[in-house]
């Protein structure tokens, strides 16, 4: 090989600075997670990444998708796959949405508005959490027309209903009620880290500043961390430990509360949690428009069934009367293809977009979405289908679930290469 050819091979791949950015070097969710781990203080990374108790469900959510085995069709013209879909009267560019996550400002100072802008730019819905760090009116100001609001039914019902009215007035499209948080899950990593919100300057935190100056300078320059939607109230939680969230949640919520919310909310209403077929039927009776099958990404009930295993029974119970959204463990576009083939209308992600936000704010969220959508497009093409209607129609031939997870080894080793 001549010198000139070697030079060509090692030429920097990006223009401008002559080096690729960290985001460009993230080629899958493992890479993005590794980059986020390097960027965030340990306690903050663990808050995002961790699960409840022994983290059995956290791992099982991934194992569920590793049981997916595809049987593709061949000799179909797949040159222009159409990934677009329509849900609750809104057009989506891909069957993907951003799930509600609390305390985003702790992960990146641009916080929830940056996530909303990324979602709008990619034509996807974004769900704002009750425990967001930006007021819902300010997120609506981004102009994103497909915003969902996730509601926790709080002990203070007047405050709960005030949130519903505010979400309606601000133009939120969908109300999603989280039903898996009768009490806060026990996240062992948070307990071990003595994790508080906002992060306290304990000795360990001070030492962390030395190794993560970029994170700390951006957080210190940013707006203060508050539960912005609950600020007007006397609620606890302005400077609360994660465990103190328990004071907000109401363990006494019942189907009567859903009836009350149905009466108050004129738009699409979705129930979020690990609902089995009996509860799916109950949701239809209660007038819900959709069910979001979720075990909170393994952060609530450990040993909870994986949403992928709830999907077929839920679809059988619901028929076409309900939309089915699924999250918990989606890390690859192939996961989305499998979930749609098994009966889902939409997949959502939590941690993947937070890893992206940690690394690059809005650009990082867009990177996470772009990776998943590119993987989904390729999977659909290799499966030999041209659009999502076909994917659903031929789902039973295209996807089987093996009894145990297929063997897996991360490309490039456990730590990726970022
Ligand atoms: C969450 N999730 C969540 N859900 C919810 O209804 N309200 C909330 O405030 C939060 N907060 C939250 C914070 C963080 C850091 C994470 C990671 C998750 C759960 C979220 O909506 C979603 O169900 C899961 O994140 C999906 O699983 P994956 O994609 O993270 O595996």
Mapped to the 3 state alphabet, what secondary structure does 206-260 carry? HHHHHHCHHHHHHHHHCCCCCCHHHCCCCCCCCCCEHHHHHHCECCCCCHHHHHH
Which of 137, 129, 49, 124 lies closest to 84, judged by CA? 124
Q: Is 26 exposed, middle or buried (0-12, 13-18, 19+ CB in 10 A)?
A: buried
The span from the CA of 110 to the CA of 145, in Å, is 19
Determine contact, residues 343/336, Cβ cutoff 8 Å.
Answer: no
The span from the CA of 155 to the CA of 311, in Å, is 31
Selected catalytic residue, list 296, 332, 394, 408 = 296
Q: What does the pLDDT read at residue 409?
A: 77
46 Cβ closer than 6 Å to some ligand 1 atom: no
Which of 305, 380, 315, 371 lies closest to 70, judged by CA? 380
Below-50 pLDDT ranges, the chain:
14-18, 233-241
Q: Is 108 a catalytic residue?
A: no
Write the residue with the smallest CA distance to atom 23 of ligand 1. Answer: 296
The second-level CATH assignment, the architecture, of 19-191+221-401 is Alpha-Beta Barrel (3.20)
Ligand 1 centroid distance, CA of 350 (Å) = 5
Write the residue with the smallest CA distance to atom 19 of ligand 1. Answer: 296
Angle, alpha carbons 12-16-22 (nearest 5°): 65
For tokens 């957080």, the residue is: 219
328 Cβ closer than 6 Å to some ligand 1 atom: yes
Which of 281, 329, 387 lies closest to 99, judged by CA? 329
Residue 131 CB: number of other CB atoms within 10 A?
21
Determine contact, residues 139/239, Cβ cutoff 8 Å.
Answer: no
The span from the CA of 97 to the CA of 120, in Å, is 11
Q: What does the pLDDT read at residue 1?
A: 62
Q: At 373, which helix (H) or strand (E)?
A: helix 351-383
Ligand 1, residue 272: give the atom nearest the CA: 6
358 Cβ closer than 6 Å to some ligand 1 atom: no
Which of 148, 123, 86, 78 lies closest to 346, judged by CA? 86
What stretches of 272-327 show up as alpha helix (H) in DSSP? 277-285, 307-318
The whole-model pTM stands at: 0.93
């Amino acid at each position: 090989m001549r010198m000139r050819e070697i030079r060509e091979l090692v030429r920097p791949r990006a223009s401008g600075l002559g080096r690729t950015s960290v985001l460009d070097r993230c080629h899958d969710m493992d890479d993005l997670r590794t980059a986020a781990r390097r960027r965030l203080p340990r306690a903050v990374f663990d808050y995002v990444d961790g699960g409840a108790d022994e983290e059995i469900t956290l791992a099982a959510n991934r194992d569920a998708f590793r049981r997916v085995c595809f049987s593709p069709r061949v000799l179909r013209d797949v040159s222009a796959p159409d990934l677009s879909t329509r849900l609750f009267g809104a057009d989506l560019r891909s069957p993907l949405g951003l799930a509600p996550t609390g305390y985003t400002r702790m992960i990146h100072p641009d916080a929830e508005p940056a996530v909303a802008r990324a979602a709008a730019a990619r034509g996807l819905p974004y769900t704002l959490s009750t425990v967001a760090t930006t007021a819902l009116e300010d997120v609506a100001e981004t102009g994103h027309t497909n915003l969902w609001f996730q509601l926790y039914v709080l002990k203070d019902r007047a405050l709960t209903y005030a949130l519903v009215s505010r979400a309606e007035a601000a133009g939120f499209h969908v109300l999603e009620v989280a039903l898996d948080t009768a009490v806060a899950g026990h996240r062992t990593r948070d307990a071990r880290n003595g994790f508080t919100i906002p992060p306290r300057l304990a000795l360990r935190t001070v030492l962390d500043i030395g190794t993560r100056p970029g994170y700390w300078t951006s957080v210190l320059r940013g707006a203060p961390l508050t539960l912005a939607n609950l600020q007007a109230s006397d609620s606890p939680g302005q400077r609360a430990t994660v465990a103190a969230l328990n004071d907000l949640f109401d363990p006494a919520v019942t189907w009567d509360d859903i009836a009350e919310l149905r009466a108050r909310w004129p738009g699409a209403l979705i129930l979020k949690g690990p609902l089995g077929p009996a509860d799916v039927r109950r949701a239809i009776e209660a007038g819900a428009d959709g069910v979001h099958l979720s075990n909170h990404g393994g952060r609530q009930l450990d040993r909870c069934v994986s949403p992928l295993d709830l999907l077929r029974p839920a679809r059988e119970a619901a028929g076409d009367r309900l939309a089915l959204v699924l999250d918990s463990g989606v890390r690859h576009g192939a996961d989305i293809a499998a979930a749609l083939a098994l009966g889902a209308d939409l997949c959502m992600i939590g941690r993947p977009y937070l890893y992206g936000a940690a690394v690059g704010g809005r650009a990082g969220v867009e990177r996470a979405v772009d990776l998943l959508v590119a993987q989904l497009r390729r999977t659909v093409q290799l499966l030999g289908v041209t659009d999502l209607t076909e994917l659903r129609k031929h789902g039973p031939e295209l996807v089987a679930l093996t009894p145990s997870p297929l063997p897996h080894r991360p490309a490039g080793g456990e730590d990726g290469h970022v």
